[in-house]
Amino acid sequence: MGKGPLSGVRVIELAGIGPGPFAAMLLADLGADVIRVDRASAVRDGEATGGTDFTNRGKRSIAIDLKSERGREVVLRLAEKSDVLLEGFRPGVTERLGIGPDDCLARNPRLVYGRMTGWGQEGPLSQAAGHDVGYIAITGALHAIGRADGPPQVPMNLLGDFAGGSMYLIVGVLSALLEARAGGRGQVVDAAIVDGTAHLSTFIHGFLAGGIWEDRRGVNMLDTGAPWYDVYETSDGLHMAVGAIEPQFYAEFLRLIGLGSEDLPAQHDRAGWPALRDRFAAVFRTKTRDEWTKIFVPSDACVAPVLSMTEAAEHPYNTARDVFPDLAGHRQPAPAPRFSRTPGETDGVPVLPGGQTKAILDDLGFEDTETLLKEGAITQA
């Protein structure tokens, strides 16, 4: 239980993978008491979701046999004492287990029941399996990412799972929580990755509707089509990122790279973009990444070195803000965003299944913990 702005908020997380656990981690980083409900079999089988799974940091875990009547009752009793419940199963699974929205809201009408799926609770694909790459493909976002002469490029699973999924689940849950506290009634939040990813692209859809964006990749201002919004290889095989969009920043970029604007095609002359790109590429190949970094950073040229994940954790610009603090023996991303009066915090220790089963029930006033353990409804690691 943290000291951040969500201190006093209790969240029940039905254990899953990917965007659900990350959303719960972010809530824990911001001070919420997140109780992760793991399967009892995860303890018996020796499964370890802790270790370096940082999305399980800052939580407590209770192991429950969700298929038993007594285990189901434990979940419902937890829901009675909580503000939020998060689940990421296929639609209908929690209903069949007897811990669906109707079951939980009957016990706690103020509960916010957050549901994380790829395709949504309803629709022709709602029962189909899927992953990030498919979700972003069907929204049009994947088609737009990549170079003009190549295939779509997969942006890891950050765009769908975590931006279109986790972040929208969090926005929905916190919005519903505010409304519940004002009106006394909870509700169900249906967070689908396809919905969130589509919503993220609103800005680009505006460009498309306005006729200033082509519905093909690698030819537009922000998708490597423009030579002043791209990455360039340096003499040591590394890269610099250039984002000099505004005219004053573009002028500073040209000054620092050592090119005169009078000898170049105009910035927004699309016919001249190939020539511009060739000139920029040739100049960047004359120095190493670190040499260019000393020239460009800091400046208003909007140029930065492309760092690996390992380099980023140790880079002085990030260490100055403690972006990747040393937590539990590893460099981990710090809680974000930052608050002036109630900062979020985390010990960085990932929870292990069932590690706090007895302590959680004791803290919440359960008087039959030992009986539940003997019956196998719950398991203590």
User: Catalytic residue among 131, 205, 268, 278, which?
Assistant: 131
Classify 51 in phi/psi space as left (phi over 0), alpha (psi -120 to 50) or beta: left
Distance, in Å, from the CA atom of 150 to the CA atom of 324, rounded to the nearest integer, reads: 34
User: Catalytic residue among 29, 65, 83, 161, which?
Assistant: 161
Active site residue 161: yes
Return the exposure string of 87-100: e unless at least 16 CB atoms fall within 10 Å of the residue's CB, then b: bbbebeebeebbbb
Distance, in Å, from the CA atom of 173 to the CA atom of 86, rounded to the nearest integer, reads: 9
Angle between helices 19-29 and 167-183 (to 10 degrees): 60
Phi, psi of 379 (to 5 degrees): -140, 135
Active site residue 290: no
β 60-64/33-39 pair status: parallel
CA neighbor of 240 nearest in space, from 300, 298, 299, 285: 285
Distance, in Å, from the CA atom of 296 to the CA atom of 61, rounded to the nearest integer, reads: 47
- What tokens does 73 get? 């009752």
SS3 label, residue 179: helix
Distance, in Å, from the CA atom of 319 to the CA atom of 362, rounded to the nearest integer, reads: 40
Distance, in Å, from the CA atom of 111 to the CA atom of 114, rounded to the nearest integer, reads: 9
Q: Which residues contact 254 (CB under 8 A, 6 or more apart)?
A: 260, 261, 264
Distance, in Å, from the CA atom of 269 to the CA atom of 271, rounded to the nearest integer, reads: 5
SS3 label, residue 232: strand
- What tokens does 313 get? 């954790």
Please list the active-site residues.
131, 161
